[in-house]
């Protein structure tokens, strides 16, 4: 046995800290929560309000824009049709709404953070271990404070999803910018480019394929969170899986599982398509 | 015509540069300084007068500090000590905004591996300097087209760099430098990545430009033949120190030391220098 004299508990202080956050700054979290909820509800309202064929067409158009391949468009069409045929359309739209919001916020956080990491060695040294922790910490652990601060429902689900899903985007944005050919950046500098001209005109465009790979990872990780998120009251496909587990309804769980897989494949192929296209545009070097 | 004066420039790479700088002043050599301080000496007290309107060649083997030296002129590298005067004013006094302006309007550069932006077309690459300046796309286009034609790439303006051969890419690099319309062009091993025939072609083109445009061209090379062919004056660097400065015939006929003499001897059967 490890001697008890050396025991340190961080449980009490952390509980007290979260408690005091709730008591003293509850209104701040409530405001954030309300704003976020409105955004989620808005996206959900659009996706669920649109007729199914309109969403269908948007996806087909995206698939075409991403790949210029009929085969992908047909695949996406068949898959989405399967989702509808399985009676999962509405649940899928709910999940998609959460995904879109989580991914949008992840981009808003991840890309600027990645740029910062690429520019500052100090920032990189501080952030990388934090990202490791964010990715390895069991997601249930940060669900608890998320619930305490933001209540049950969609908002803590989105936040937990972001924490889990944003690290690959930060890492790959950082990597993408670092991988930009030094001589090209030097040339832009030598011709008098300002830091922002170089960032937006050279570094970000050249890092786009890598950033797109990061976005793809982020979306995939966000999808893998939907079941966990349903445990704190997020609706959608995850809830259906959870329901299946609780009632030992294997068929129901599998149906919803297939829905999640299809959503994953469709989003994966479309984002990968965009990534490959930006790679092709600049040739092989 | 713009002349450039480099005054006692030293460049030490590494954290303990003060100690290393002191050692260079006492005449310690590169290896000794690296062993004692962990710093590497890029340039050791180099002074050069580069007259305007001609091709000035800086020659040396890899590691001699020639690329480091040329990057001091547009301050892509900051010197550890010394000063760089372009038309009499010290480049080191420029504030960030002024420095960008200086790079944009006074000095342009051609790179060994071209440094072209792979996501921009030939035309977009060529007008980069003008666009940074804030010139509208439509106004920049005729300038770009003029220089694309001058370097013999008419018809390729909408191609991307990866669709071009090495020689063509370097023509784009040259056109970009010329389109920026600066008095000074720095060329860092600009022709080293090209095969011999294209290289000779490009050298001829450069000499034509020298004659027509009266620009100050600082040309870096590791090849003595190339140096003799295009240089009005040649400076030879070794281990960050200046070994000899002179016209091609001075270098050929009175090498300053064994190092230069060895270079000259190994050059068997090469053509006559251009600036004899």
pLDDT digits (tens, 9 = 90+) for B141-168: 999 999 999 888 889 999 999 999 888 9
Structure-model confidence comparison of residues B76 and B273, the more confident one: B76
Most confident option among A223-237, B22-36, B169-183, B191-205: B169-183
- The whole-number mean pLDDT for each consecutive block of 10 residues of chain A, a chain of 285 residues, reads 84 87 85 89 90 91 90 92 90 90 93 94 93 85 81 86 91 94 92 92 92 91 85 85 89 90 91 80 52
For residue B268, the model assigns a pLDDT of 52
A282 at the B interface (CB within 8 A)? yes
Task: Say how far apart CA A251 and CA A263 lie, in whole Å.
Answer: 18
Predicted-assembly ipTM surpassing the 0.90 threshold? no
Q: Which residues contact B47 (CB under 8 A, 6 or more apart)?
A: B6, B7, B8, B9, B82, B242
The answer to whether residue B57 scores a pLDDT higher than 70 is yes
CB of A242 within 8 A of CB of A198?
no
Cβ-based neighbours of A209, under 8 Å, separated by 6 or more = A176, A275, A276, A278, A279
pLDDT at B271: 53
| Spatial distance between the Cα atoms of A268 and B29, rounded to a whole number of angstroms | 58
Q: What are phi and psi of B235, to 5 degrees?
A: -115, 135
Residue among B115, B126, B162, B184 with most chain A CBs within 10 A, to mutate: B115
Q: Mean of the pLDDT values across residues B189-212?
A: 86
Looking at residue B141, its pLDDT comes to 92
Number of neighbours of residue B62 by Cβ within 10 angstroms: 9
- Residues recorded for chain A: 285
The pLDDT value given to residue A284: 44
Task: Provide, rounded to the nearest whole percent, the portion of chain B with pLDDT above 90.
Answer: 39
Does pLDDT of B94 surpass 70? Answer: yes
How much is the pLDDT for A78?
93
Q: For residue A259, what are its two tokens?
A: 């829905």
Q: Do A193 and B132 touch (CB under 8 A)?
A: yes
Nearest to B103 among A181, A192, A202 (CB): A192
Q: Does A190 touch chain B (CB under 8 A)?
A: yes
Q: Is B226 left (phi over 0), alpha (psi -120 to 50) or beta?
A: alpha
Residues in chain B: 276
- β-strands B40-50, B184-188 pairing: unpaired
Contact between A161 and A229 under an 8 Å Cβ cutoff? The reply is: yes
Q: Which residues contact residue A12 at a Cβ distance below 8 angstroms, ignoring those fewer than 6 apart?
A: none
Q: Which residue's entry shows tokens 């053509």?
A: B271
On whether any CB of chain B is under 8 Å from the CB of A121, the answer is no
Which residue stretches of chain A are H helix? 11-49, 52-67, 70-85, 89-119, 121-136, 139-150, 154-178, 182-190, 195-198, 204-224, 226-230, 237-246, 250-281
Please count the CA atoms within 13 angstroms of the CA of B105 that sit on its side-chain side.
9
Q: Which two tokens stand for residue B3?
A: 């002349």
- Token reading at B170: 């370097």
Residue B136, SS3? coil
Closest CA to B56 of B192, B245, B201, B270: B245
HSE value, Cβ hemisphere, 13 Å, CA-based, for B147: 27
A124/B13 Cα distance (integer angstroms): 23
Q: Does an H or E element contain B169, and which? A: helix B166-179
**Which residue, among B102, B111, B119, B175, would best test binding to A if mutated, counting the most A CBs under 10 Å from its CB?**
B119
Closest alpha carbon within chain A to B177: A191
> Over 70: is that where the pLDDT of B45 sits?
yes
């Amino acid at each position: 046995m490890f001697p008890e004299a050396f025991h340190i508990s961080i449980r009490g202080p952390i509980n007290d800290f979260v408690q005091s956050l709730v008591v003293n700054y509850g209104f701040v979290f409530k405001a954030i929560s309300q704003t976020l909820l409105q955004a989620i509800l808005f996206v959900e309202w659009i996706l669920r309000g649109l007729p199914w064929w309109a969403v269908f067409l948007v996806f087909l158009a995206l698939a075409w824009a991403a790949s210029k391949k009929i085969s992908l468009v047909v695949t996406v069409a068949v898959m989405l049709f399967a989702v509808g045929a399985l009676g999962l359309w509405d649940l899928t739209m709910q999940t998609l709404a959460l995904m879109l919001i989580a991914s949008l916020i992840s981009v808003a956080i991840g890309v600027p953070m990645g740029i910062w990491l690429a520019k500052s060695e100090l920032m990189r040294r501080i952030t990388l271990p934090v990202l490791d922790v964010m990715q390895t910490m069991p997601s249930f652990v940060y669900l608890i404070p998320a619930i305490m601060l933001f209540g049950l429902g969609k908002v803590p689900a989105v936040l937990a999803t972001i924490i889990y899903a944003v690290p690959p985007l930060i890492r790959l944005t950082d990597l993408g910018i670092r991988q930009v050919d030094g001589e090209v950046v030097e040339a832009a500098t030598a011709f008098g480019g300002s830091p922002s001209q170089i960032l937006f005109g050279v570094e970000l465009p050249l890092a786009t394929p890598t950033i797109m790979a990061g976005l793809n990872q982020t979306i995939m990780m966000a999808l893998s969170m939907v079941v966990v998120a349903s445990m704190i009251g997020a609706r959608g496909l995850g809830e259906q899986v959870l329901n299946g587990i609780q009632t030992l309804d294997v068929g129901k769980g599998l149906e919803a599982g297939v829905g999640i897989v299809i959503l994953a494949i469709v989003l994966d192929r479309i984002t990968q398509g965009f990534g490959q296209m930006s790679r092709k545009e600049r040739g092989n070097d | 015509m713009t002349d450039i004066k480099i005054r006692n420039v030293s460049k030490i790479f590494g954290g303990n540069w003060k100690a290393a700088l002191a050692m260079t002043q006492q005449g310690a050599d590169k290896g000794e300084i690296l062993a004692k301080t962990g710093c590497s000496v890029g340039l050791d007290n180099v002074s050069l007068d580069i007259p305007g309107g001609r091709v000035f060649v800086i020659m040396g083997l890899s590691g001699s500090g020639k690329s480091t030296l040329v990057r001091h002129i547009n301050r892509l590298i900051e010197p550890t000590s010394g000063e760089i005067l372009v038309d009499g004013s010290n480049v080191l006094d420029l504030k960030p905004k002024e420095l960008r302006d200086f790079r944009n309007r006074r000095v342009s550069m051609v790179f060994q591996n071209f440094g072209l932006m792979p996501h921009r077309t030939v035309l977009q690459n060529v007008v980069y300097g003008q666009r940074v300046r804030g010139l509208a796309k439509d106004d920049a286009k005729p300038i770009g087209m003029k220089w694309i034609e001058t370097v013999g790439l008419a018809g390729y303006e909408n191609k991307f760099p990866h669709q071009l051969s090495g020689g063509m890419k370097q023509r784009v690099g040259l056109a970009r430098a010329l389109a920026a319309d600066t008095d000074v062009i720095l060329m860092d091993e600009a022709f080293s990545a090209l095969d011999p025939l294209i290289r000779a072609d490009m050298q001829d083109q450069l000499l034509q430009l020298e004659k027509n445009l009266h620009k100050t061209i600082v040309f870096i090379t590791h090849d003595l033949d190339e140096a003799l062919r295009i240089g009005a004056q040649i400076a030879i660097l070794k281990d960050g120190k200046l070994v000899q400065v002179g016209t091609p015939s001075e270098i050929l006929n009175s090498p300053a030391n064994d190092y230069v003499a060895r270079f000259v001897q190994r050059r068997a059967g090469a053509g006559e220098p251009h600036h004899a």
